[in-house]
Amino acid sequence: MTQANAPASPRSTLVVTAHAGDFVWRAGGAIALAAVRGEKVTIACLTFGERGESAKAWREGGKLDEIKAIRRDEAERAATTLGAEVRFFDAGDYPLIPTAELTDQLVAVYRETQPDVVLTHPVEDPYNGDHPAANRMALQARILAQAIGYPGEGDIIGAPPVFYFEPHQPEMSGFRPEVLLDITEVWDTKRKAMECLAAQQHLWAYYTDLAVRRGVQLKRNAGPNLGLAHNTMAEAYMRPFPQIAKELA
């Protein structure tokens, strides 16, 4: 029996990503903010990005198992920096193939973590089919985890809101920012996590610049008198499902 004065469980965020670096570039700020608030953040990393997102290691003569180990180490250090737990599924990238088995594993994670918020890839990405594949499994597992008749351990979940983080080529992926998240207070943490990903060092400057540009857009949409930092940094998100509210704000 649960006692009336028992402490409430911390809020839970689940991040479902295709590759080892995706959660850092696209949602590192959101993850760090959640961790600062004392929330539990779990990252379900479906692949190491060993084939398609580790070109530097391949050019340096790395072998497949060596590259997986490199990317795992980078992702673990980045997750620790952000204050999150990362779990690896080693499903193989390029291509990441959606399977019933992999989806079932995600259902188990949903039921275990009972997320209040889910972050994942958007539906479209013509440059990287692994990202839409991860999206499909993340959404399917969310639905199955709600079904009382779906087999597996753990309690069913509610309907946690889903946020799509920004793809690398937003203009080509049907991405339109609907939520601009102020990550200024944790930007240094996100940048340190980015610098854990030496295999993709070429992206450090790109995602720093993107945070600056989204920060400019955040300030423009927030108005001039809210006391925002001069150098506001931000991340952009879309919402595939309606926002539930008792008042408009």
| SS3 readout for 91-142 | CCCCCCCCCHHHHHHHHHHHHHHCCCEEEECCCCCCCCCHHHHHHHHHHHHH
Q: How far apart are CA 76 and CA 174, in angstroms?
A: 31
Q: Give me the CATH topology for the region 12-224+233-238.
A: Rossmann fold (3.40.50)
Per domain, the residue ranges of the chain are 12-224+233-238
Count other C-beta atoms under 10 Å from residue 40's C-beta: 19
Average pLDDT over the chain reads: 95
DSSP-based helix, strand, coil % in the chain, nearest 5: 45, 15, 45
Percent of the chain with pLDDT over 70: 94
pLDDT tens digits, one per residue of 108-140: 999 999 999 999 999 999 999 999 999 999 999
Residue 6 banded pLDDT, cuts 50, 70, 90: low
With bands split at pLDDT 50, 70 and 90, how would you rate the model's confidence at 229? Answer: low
- Residue pair 184/136 in contact by the 8 Å Cβ criterion: no
Sheet holding 162-165, edge to edge: 85-88, 40-45, 12-17, 117-120, 162-165, 234-238, 179-182
Least Cα distance to 60 among 197, 199, 202 occurs for: 199
Whole-model pTM: value is 0.94
Using one digit for the tens of pLDDT, what is the confidence trace for 9-33? 899 999 999 999 999 999 999 999 9
Q: Is the pLDDT of residue 185 over 60?
A: yes
Nearest to 184 by CA among 162, 216, 161, 206: 216
> pLDDT digits over 53-62, tens only?
999 899 999 9
The type of residue at 25 is W
Place of tokens 């009382």: 148
The one-letter amino acid code at 108 reads: A
Instruction: For residues 151-176, give the mean pLDDT.
Output: 97
Higher pLDDT, 7 or 138: 138
